[in-house]
Structure 1
Amino acid sequence: MGKRDLSKNKIILATIELAKEIGIDNVSFPRLAEHFNIKPPSLYNHFNNMAQVRIHTAIYLENILFDRLMNNLIDLQPADALRKYAEVYELFANEYASVYELLNIVPRVNNTELSAVNFDIFNFITQIISNYNLDKNDTVHSSRMFRSILHGYVTMRQLGYFTTESQLSNDSFHWMVEKFIASLQYAQDNY
């Protein structure tokens, strides 16, 4: 590939592909240049450094997740919407396991585009949970809790936890989501 054929999107896709092979921590300008059969300085025409590549890869990933949520959460009742959100999130995290950790850079970087799409994804949860008629604080806390249990579970599984044969990993994931939904229903009924 010549440097004229190179684009930001191609570099992002190559970052994801290389991360599957060598791990995201090992993806560098020299490795990307080798992938494209070009000299590393050609990459500077598109990104200033690997930090920028990571940020733009995170934006790319967040947009994929946002689109998948948009396409799957339409016209669902709150409990079904939370189940579907969890399912979409888990499938996404599994598909992009090699670069999933890039979603954690949102609070560490000052990028308005990344922050905006992350806010939109968080807002999905908040809107769903607001249907349980909790007060504003409980809605925010519940939204954060839901995000945390999904992210925590996915992260721990990617690190190698929850692998015993006696109970399938997905059984625990679905159990966790159902317990969360039951807690919202309980809170709503006892408010």
Structure 2
Amino acid sequence: MVRAGLTTDRVTLAGAELADEVGLDHVTMSAVARRLGVRDASLYAHVRGLEDLRGRIALLAADEKTIRIAEATAGRAGKDALTAFANAWRAYAHAHPGRYSATQLTARPDPGPAGRAPGPLRAVDLTSSMLRAYALDEPDLTDAARLVRSTLHGFVSLEAAGGFAHPRPAEDSWTRCLDALHAVLERWPAPRETALS
């Protein structure tokens, strides 16, 4: 029997909150059930299991992160948009470390309403929009988007893991990284010529 008031969204949010508190790797069905004050078995009417729950947390986080980035970048272009995009990304990672970790998962819920969540696709659109001012065509646009994602994810992941022990403040390095990204995007290298045999 489904407990009154318990929904897939409530179970997912409880898992997301727990992930932020204790880390995504420590989210279990039992821990989520305890948080909600229900038996473990009650959760299975709403999610298929732990992998499904983590996939739903990932989709929730992707939606939340893209909303923040969209709000931050609205009406901006060029370096201003890049900086707003990056700062919103980093702020989300700081505020929601467990949810942010979930965005890197490859597992997703089965197709259906949850499988069609707009977050991941909107993230691609937002990145392309932010890069529009740099006048990049394919395949350079894809390569630039991968560079931006790798830089931002790498920085916030190392920062979260305590990887910046040097006395120089991480904030100063972050600002310089964004300056460097902007410079690279403005002077994107021409494609390498394929050697003729």
TM-score range, shorter chain: 0.7 to 0.9
> Could you tell me how far 1:179 is from its partner in structure 2?
0.5
Describe the SS at the equivalent of 2:134: coil
> For each residue in 1:134-180, what CA deviation from the matched residue of structure 2 results, as whole angstroms up to 9, or x when unmatched?
3322221111100110001111111110133x211111112111101
> Could you tell me how far 1:4 is from its partner in structure 2?
1.1
Which of 133, 136, 146 aligns to 1:134? It is 136
Equivalent residue for 1:18? 18
Equivalent residue for 1:66? 66
Q: TM-score, normalised by structure 1?
A: 0.87
1:1-191 alignment to 2 at 5 Å?
Answer: 3-106=3-106, 108-109=107-108, 112-113=115-116, 116-164=118-166, 166-187=167-188
Q: Answer whether contact 2:134 2:185 (CA < 8 A) is retained.
A: yes
Task: Indicate how the Cα distance of structure 1 residues 75 and 99 shifts in structure 2: closer, same or farther if over 3 A, else same.
Answer: closer
Q: TM-score, normalised by structure 2?
A: 0.85
Task: Indicate how the Cα distance of structure 1 residues 16 and 163 shifts in structure 2: closer, same or farther if over 3 A, else same.
Answer: farther
Describe the SS at the equivalent of 1:48: coil
Q: Answer whether contact 1:82 1:128 (CA < 8 A) is retained.
A: yes
> Could you tell me how far 1:20 is from its partner in structure 2?
3.5
Task: Indicate how the Cα distance of structure 1 residues 20 and 136 shifts in structure 2: closer, same or farther if over 3 A, else same.
Answer: closer
Q: Answer whether contact 1:59 1:113 (CA < 8 A) is retained.
A: no
User: How large is the RMSD of aligned CA atoms in angstroms?
Assistant: 2.0
Q: Number of paired residues?
A: 184
2: distance between equivalents of 1:36 and 1:133? 49
**Structure 1: runs of 5+ lacking an equivalent:** none
**Structure 2: runs of 5+ lacking an equivalent:** 190-197
> Could you tell me how far 1:78 is from its partner in structure 2?
1.6
Equivalent residue for 2:192? none
Q: Answer whether contact 1:82 1:125 (CA < 8 A) is retained.
A: no
Describe the SS at the equivalent of 2:135: coil
Describe the SS at the equivalent of 2:181: helix
Could you tell me the percent identity over the aligned residues? Answer: 22
> For each residue in 1:5-29, what CA deviation from the matched residue of structure 2 results, as whole angstroms up to 9, or x when unmatched?
2112221221122223432222211
1: distance between equivalents of 2:25 and 2:54? 10
Structure 1 stretch displaced more, 49-58 or 119-128: 119-128
2: distance between equivalents of 1:160 and 1:84? 24
Structure 1 stretch displaced more, 59-68 or 27-36: 27-36
